[in-house]
Structure 1
């Protein structure tokens, strides 16, 4: 257990260094990556009604000063005035300059009183509003800007909204002109590794489910991987698709649903693995406990993170009482503890990347545990089959030992002693029975076929009302379309098999 924890700690530390290195590259502070954000302490918001920046009086009593993170155009139209401080050396560069706007709103954008761009069409009514892109950029001519403070005016609205977000606008800044999706895509490059791990995990367990017949398998592990994969795809979809902002709420809902489903699948796996008799009760209780972070934790990303952390905490609670009985429970509890500690102790700025590395590492642990369990069950099934074969063979040997070695057949004042193992088959002949032997003449016994079968014991199989056969003398059985059949003995003798007795004959031959 200690060795496992040390291995996992080393793995998580390595992943942390990788993520921090990637983040440092993504957020390099060279001029090529420089962004100059709005002054969050210098923001004025007015109720919107006019169609031009010149018509708005930001000194009106209807306007108010707000913190930049509190700009909220949801279900309303507002005019916003703020400033962006740009250094002289940035303006002296030859690269084109752009105004970046990322947020859930349609808008018009002005530098001083110059209209520089429009994303969708803001409006005072939902009917007049046209959604724009969630991430937009507008080309700025150098003559529109000056060194020092530049006044930025925004006409914003967001009527078509499903969720009331606390921070509907992510960032507003001026920088070198580029595709706004580049920021997200470069950041999400680090997600390619966990994306691959999760995809391989789904395919791997799908293949196991399709090929490993007869071995009990847990559906919850591939579900954890599948829902975590959906969560990751929903996270990175913004940088890939650059959708209209009206779909942003839908994306956030998918992020929450996939995150919750992955967490619930994880705790369901733990419960089914170690508490199968109480899976319904414990799963129901866990379901409602997992709803608590959704209701009380702010921010959709934080909700998803904390739901999974809560599932890990519940998993540890379910593992601890059974660690003595199940070695895998110790590994499971250790992995869940490390995951929760790593998520809670990780700086938020890299958590969105690092989180999926942690989920991938946790799922790898589940893959290993489940694979070992499947291998153990396969060995157990093979051992059970072999024990059944050995038991059947022992029963057959016991049965043969109990069968008589010889039988005595009275004939014309004398007694013929016949070795049972030399008898191939017997055939009824009225009130008599013909006994056929290997390399010896046929003997007519004054006994019925049923009486002789009872005397010979289980070494002989009843294949017809008039025939019994030594099971060791049988070569093959051929079944006719009618349901009856023919037994071919090793001496090439053909013996009929009645349709009524055919199922029992086949069962006896399968046992042999």
Structure 2
């Protein structure tokens, strides 16, 4: 009863530790998300939209319809939109129009062209794909006291896929000299990249040392996350043409898929069940993830669905196993369920930064504080209790604990047991030793002893050695065996 209470107490302490680590990670994400996001003066929520060019850039748009940015149709031709800031713009500092997404555009402020993001056009041949992110300074003389507006002539023929939203950002903010996303926004990915690589090496070391091949799935999962992080951070390093956006996001989606599938496979094999159940859960989750990917138009939605389904399935498997058989599985369930839930609550932040930070902290805590949950300790094989001795016409079974030493006798072996019993085995000394546990050590070309029966190791003149057994028998030791024997003793 006392042992059970101690086990339950240790499990509870580890669970509380994991909860605290999770809360710290989420708090860090919330605080850094606020501090690294550029301060926006005003963002477009609804815009006036039309597919034909206005007759006069300064005139009112009588034929325009008002749409939200998420409701803008995917273009088969070029289009126009106009947006009036909801608040008065400050005139005491330099301002800029910021935009990002898979489109090309000419940007106008109060009817004056202030910059271009590629070259928009009615057909793919006429359009030149612009950079994924754009930032255009607003001349201070153009800013009025009220009634300011931004107009875009834009097209999107080279995305290569159906974006869920064409305009990822469209806002006015204080001017800065770099259109790319701030590198500090990706600080969690940069900081944890080395941590993830270290966790991969640690998982590989533990899996090899403990002879746990299932650990390779954990290694594959963390490697997939590292690949996804590299694809994500590339947006802060290179302001690439927007037609590169699809392959970049496809690489990221692949990394997240490998991450989720690897974790699920690791959990299924770590806490195994019947083959039918394992196949049903694994391939069922893969099928649901594939449906989630095909049912979504944008890559962010595809990636968040993939993580939510695959990592969520791994978390539910850990919960189910923890309730039924192994309470330790609940410790792994916490980070998995947390990542899956976060993918649906804040998918953008999870894909940009959160997945990497949460995974590195939570799995790092698991590998450093209770690694036996992810990579279990090896189970020692049961030692044989008897030795089958081959004699003429029959086989005898000798208790191994009763054997003191062995002596080679030509092609045979003499097995000496307690009470001076001697049994002749029809095999050579090396063959007999192969059937005995590691407590039996060869000490001479013709002798082997049970280390549990050794009392002392003696050295004599002329570099001669021998061991004395607890029963008073002296056994010679060859010089080349002395070092190994001394180390074993």
TM-score (norm 1): 0.67
More helix by share: 1
CA distances 1:253-309 after superposition (whole Å, capped 9, x unpaired): 222222122111111111112226514454222311333433456753344234323
CA distances 1:127-150 after superposition (whole Å, capped 9, x unpaired): 121111111112222112212222
1:245 maps to what in 2?
242
Per the TM alignment, residue 224 of structure 1 is displaced from its structure 2 partner at its CA by: 1.0
Per the TM alignment, residue 169 of structure 1 is displaced from its structure 2 partner at its CA by: 0.6
1:495 maps to what in 2?
none
Match of 1:46 among 42, 51, 69: 51
CA distances 1:74-122 after superposition (whole Å, capped 9, x unpaired): 332112222235636x2123xx332222121111111233211111111
User: Whole-Å Cα distance in 1 between the matches of residues 27 and 443 of structure 2?
Assistant: 71
User: Whole-Å Cα distance in 1 between the matches of residues 74 and 341 of structure 2?
Assistant: 37
Give the 3 Å change call, closer, same or farther, for CA 459–319 of structure 1 in structure 2: closer
User: Whole-Å Cα distance in 2 between the matches of residues 22 and 285 of structure 1?
Assistant: 37
Residues 286 and 310, structure 2, Cα contact 8 Å, conserved in 1? no
Larger Cα-atom Rg: 1
1:305 maps to what in 2?
304
Residues 46 and 64, structure 1, Cα contact 8 Å, conserved in 2? no
Residues 314 and 336, structure 2, Cα contact 8 Å, conserved in 1? yes
CA distances 1:229-276 after superposition (whole Å, capped 9, x unpaired): 122222222122221111112222222222122111111111112226
Give the 3 Å change call, closer, same or farther, for CA 475–195 of structure 1 in structure 2: same
Residues 43 and 80, structure 1, Cα contact 8 Å, conserved in 2? yes
What is the RMSD of the two structures over their aligned residues, measured on CA atoms? 4.3
User: Whole-Å Cα distance in 2 between the matches of residues 230 and 374 of structure 1?
Assistant: 23
Residues 109 and 153, structure 1, Cα contact 8 Å, conserved in 2? yes
1:273 is the counterpart of 2:287: no
User: Whole-Å Cα distance in 2 between the matches of residues 297 and 307 of structure 1?
Assistant: 11
1:199 is the counterpart of 2:197: yes
User: Whole-Å Cα distance in 2 between the matches of residues 72 and 9 of structure 1?
Assistant: 43
1:236 maps to what in 2?
233
User: Whole-Å Cα distance in 2 between the matches of residues 260 and 97 of structure 1?
Assistant: 40
Structure 1: state its 5+ residue gaps: 404-420, 422-454, 463-470, 477-489, 491-508
Task: Tell me the number of residue pairs that the alignment of Structure 1 and Structure 2 aligns.
Answer: 409
User: Whole-Å Cα distance in 1 between the matches of residues 386 and 134 of structure 2?
Assistant: 70
Q: Secondary structure at the match of 1:400?
A: strand
* Equivalent residue runs for 1:100-111 within 5 Å: 100-111=98-109
CA distances 1:174-201 after superposition (whole Å, capped 9, x unpaired): 2222144554423222333333322222
Match of 2:167 among 166, 169, 174: 169
Q: Secondary structure at the match of 1:149?
A: coil
* Equivalent residue runs for 1:290-329 within 5 Å: 290-296=289-295, 299-320=298-319, 322-323=321-322, 325-329=325-329
1:482 maps to what in 2?
none
1:501 maps to what in 2?
none
With 160-169 and 325-334 compared, the bigger mean Cα shift is at: 325-334
Per the TM alignment, residue 334 of structure 1 is displaced from its structure 2 partner at its CA by: 4.1
Per the TM alignment, residue 54 of structure 1 is displaced from its structure 2 partner at its CA by: 4.0
Give the 3 Å change call, closer, same or farther, for CA 105–274 of structure 1 in structure 2: same
* Equivalent residue runs for 1:405-424 within 5 Å: none
